[in-house]
Structure 1
Amino acid sequence: MNDEDKRLNVALLEKFAEKHTIYQSQIQKFDRQFNREIYKGHLRAITCTQVDEFAQHMYSCSKDSSIIKWDLETKKKEFIQREVGKHGDGHYDEVLSISLNFDGKILASAGKDHSIKLWDTTSNKLIETLKHHKAPIYGVKFGYNSNNLCSISCDRTFIQWDAAQRAYIDTFFGHSTEANDIDCFNADDFLSCGYDRQMIQWKTKSGGQLLYSGHEQSIDCIRAITLDTFATGSVDANVNLWNVKKRKPLFELHKPHGDRWITALGTVYNSDLLVSGSYDDNLNIYKVTNKDITKVRSLQSFGIVNHINVFDNKILTVESQEHRLGRWVTSTKSKNLIVLYL
């Protein structure tokens, strides 16, 4: 490792330490005028985005089977991975989820072809294809500051992988139907939610799990807020706030997008900020405490919001013509865009 790599690693670890151990209020930074910056490149509905820790590159994936690497400074595409058959390196079906490891050197992607692909983000080459799921994979997530990778699937399993060793570790069971979304508290503790109206906290070190319930319909999105609180969004149109020590919600925000279900949530970890998306042309920003959620403002959006990232006082969203997991909801207002509010 050369001196420049060492310097970057030290800077990265310092940024992680600040982000994941020090609570910081963020809500005031979002009480301002925003501009919309548009990124176009995918041919079908965009399902997920990821931004590296230094906000130099963005990655996006789509139902058109492609993954695009973007330079956030020049706003140009650096690399496009798209397959037309089953025999190439990329996915041959819809790509539904991507996740970057702690140093941004490995990108994991997964989707309807039942496989997880590990990509070298420096060379843009395939490292490995991981296979163990028996159905479409709806989510992949790296633990914070680690190469611990976990995935959820329509086969109802939660699988742990070691991305550095390119190896399968273990399979966990808990959901009675497909799991829809995944997030993490730290390197070892993960969250998932599903069509079975359950949320599960997975403790990968001990193999333990905690179950939570409270929504009336399928839970489509879940995000960790602090080490002991998280939020969920559901087809019942509600956003719920949870504490890991309580099996029922601390607070229920009733239908913040009207009767339309919650399709995406975004947070700044260890802060008081939460963002929700739906298909009502609004992106809602909330202040979160340890007991409630209060709506602060809305930003205009179009189409179906499939994913939300919040970084460097900016909001990155995906506006698509259909829901990331199906076609239950469609919209003609969007042109399948990535939108950066800055």
Structure 2
Amino acid sequence: MAIDPFFTSARKRKRSNNKKTPATAAQKQKKVNKKEDSDVEGDSGEEDQFNANLSQSDVDVSSEEEEIEETAAEKRVRLAKAYLGSIEKSLEDDGIGFDAADLDKDLIAERLKKDDDESEGRLHMRIADRVRRNIEKIKSNICRGHQLPVTAVALAENGTIFYSASKEGSIIKWDAKTFKKLHTFPGGRKGVKNFDGHTDHILCLAISNDGKYLASGGKDKCINIWSVTEDKHIAKFTQHRDAVSGLAFRKTSNQLYSASHDRTIKLWNIDEKAYIETLFGHQDQITGIDTLVRERCLSVGGRDKTARWWKIVEESQLVYRGGISSKNPETGAIQYVEGSLDCLAQIDESMFVTGGDSGLISLWDIQRKKPVFSLPTAHGLNTVASESEGDINTPYWITALASLKFSDLFVSGSWDGYIRLYKLAQDNRSFKEIGKLPVNGVVNDIQIKQLFPSKRTLIVVAVGQELKLGRWIRLKNGVKNCTKIFELEMTSTGAVSATVVDGNGDDKGESQFRII
């Protein structure tokens, strides 16, 4: 079996003991002869200096003999111990702690298996059925702090904090347990130069996997990098020529992908605060981007109706054509045609879903150029009364998609009053709606994550009175610009209720409904 070169490379390591082995007589005589040949006429002072150097050489030789070669097996053991130590520390950081009782629960084994499955890009969590059958209450909290519509949210991997951003250019940091405001990065007036922040609408947010960095992008064509722990501005990138519409961090590194309305994708090394390269291919504004573990990313190109899978190392791309027509199930006549792909979510390294202006959600396999399954008018129809033509039905288009990575659960948003949950079929060739949660307003962004090892599953939703890219829709009746958080809980019944709590902790009542 071939051995990974990472483990075979050997390096010298010193033993911890201080025992010194005297130099052999042959080694001493060799150094004496060398000294005599080079300086036969030396005086007594030079001889004393030579003796001092000889004593020092004895120590050097002793140290060299103490140095040993670390074998590949020893290095594997050392790296494994270091990795297990990092897992123990992460468990302690999550507030779970690490003791003998945790060993019985196999938390470390579970984390190792999870990391291995994710590195291989496999879908390994089948939890949608548990959500469908066992959740009785879905707790909902509302965080209000923005004056204008909330356009983007970002949830940290450990689930301790999340961020929200809005059209006013500000970013708010929230505590995910108490839902209290922790810090605010204010926005600046439009056109202000040399401002550490945004001076126009913010369109996207992303948090690095290690929780060190927050990236934000907006209509001011800038990408700002913020320190999560120190709450300060770190860097600003201004290479894009139009609005920055999407940001995504790779799960295993601080490599950042940015998508823009200038039709390009750019790669950044955030640790080095450096630009890497630009990817070209889309023929219209890029409206969304996502990535997982591998050095690849997925993007959708708006009205060019394509999704593209970028292979960074191979310097190639695969193109998936949208523009799918929805047909009347009774007559077979074409009803709605997909004119734009507006959002996407990657499920694992081989599957993803897209949504667009026709209300259609499509499931894709990277090995096929056409969707393996499509659900038309996923959020229903919007009826508008017309004096000349009567009632006009148009689909609620899909404004946001998010998946619980490497699982069979994903969610979608629009402005029909709900976010909807879907379960992927066992053969990964179809999906169906399994429930919906009330959200009053336009859903501009969604994030869903399961936190390890606590198993808490959070859904964070950016809600606004209007769409983040325009004002074609304006909702006023009781709609508030806010961030809404749902926590999925496992119980023994199939009923679902949502308890809404405002930012001050006051109970606003409970509404009940049943999972489909």
TM-score of the pair, normalised by structure 2: 0.63
RMSD value, Cα: 2.1
Residue 89 of structure 1 and its aligned partner are, at CA, apart by 0.8
Q: Which amino acid aligns with 1:211?
A: V
**1:256 maps to 2:394:** no
Deviations 1:99-123 (A, max 9, x none): 1111010111110111111111111
Q: Which runs of 5+ in 2 are unaligned?
A: 1-84, 95-107, 324-337, 381-394, 450-455, 488-516
Structure 2 counterpart of 1:279, one-letter code: W
Once residues 204 and 59 of structure 1 are traced to their aligned partners in structure 2, the CA distance between those partners, rounded to angstroms, is 29
Counterpart code for 1:25: R
Instruction: Report the counterpart of residue 26 of structure 1 in structure 2.
Output: 127
Structure 2 counterparts to residues 149-164 of structure 1, below 5 A = 149-164=256-271
Structure 1 vs Structure 2: percent identity of aligned residues? Answer: 34
Q: Which residue of 2 aligns with 1:208?
A: 316
Partner of 2:55: none
In structure 2, the partner of 1:225 is: 347
Paired residues for 1:291-310 under 5 Å:
291-310=429-448
Correspondence 1:91-110 to 2 at 5 A: 91-110=198-217
Give 2:183's aligned residue.
79
CA distance in 1: counterparts of 2:183 and 2:466, whole angstroms: 25
Instruction: Please say if residues 96 and 138 of structure 1, whose CA atoms lie closer than 8 Å, have aligned partners that are also in contact.
Output: yes
Task: Give the one of 186, 193, 209 matched to 2:300.
Answer: 193
Give the match for residue 341 of structure 1: 486
One-letter amino acid matched to 1:327: R
* Letter paired with 1:298: K
List aligned pairs for 1:111-126, cutoff 5 A: 111-126=218-233
Q: 1:193 to 1:82 in 2, by over 3 A?
A: same
Q: Distance in 2 between matches of 1:4 and 1:243?
A: 35
Determine if the alignment matches structure 1 residue 279 to structure 2 residue 415: yes
Which of residues 113, 122, 140 in structure 2 aligns to 1:36?
A: 140
Structure 2: distance between partners of 1:130 and 1:9 = 35
Report the Cα offset of residue 51 of structure 1: 1.1
Bigger helix fraction: 2
Q: What does 1:296-335 correspond to in 2, within 5 Å?
A: 296-311=434-449, 312-333=456-477, 334-335=479-480
CA contact (8 A) 1:236 1:261 kept: yes
Residue 6 to residue 270, structure 1, CA distance change in 2 (3 Å): closer
Rg larger in structure:
2
Amino acid at match of 1:28: D
Count of aligned pairs: 340
CA contact (8 A) 1:185 1:191 kept: no
131-140 or 19-28, which moves further after superposition?
19-28
- In the TM superposition, residue 60 of structure 1 has moved relative to its aligned partner by 1.0
- How far apart are residue 324 of structure 1 and its match? 1.6
Q: Secondary structure at the match of 1:257?
A: coil
Distance in 2 separating the partners of 1:142 and 1:251 = 28
- Which stretch shows the higher mean deviation, 240-249 or 31-40? 31-40
CA distance in 2, matches of 1:120, 1:291: 41
Q: Is the 8 A contact 2:155 2:460 kept in 1?
A: no
Tell me, what secondary structure is at the counterpart of 2:138?
coil
Q: Deviations over 1:207-231 (max 9, x none)?
A: 2111101232111110001210000
How far 1:20 sits from its partner (Å)? 2.6
Deviation of the 1:30 alpha carbon: 2.5
Q: 1:276 to 1:133 in 2, by over 3 A?
A: same
Cα displacement string for residues 142-181 of structure 1 (whole angstroms, at most 9, x for unaligned residues)? 1112111111111111111111111111111111010001
How far apart are 1:84 and its partner, in Å? 2.7
3-state SS in 1 of match to 2:476: coil
- Write the deviation string for residues 252-275 of structure 1: whole angstroms up to 9, x where unpaired: 101111111011111111111011
**Contiguous gaps of at least 5 residues in structure 1:** none
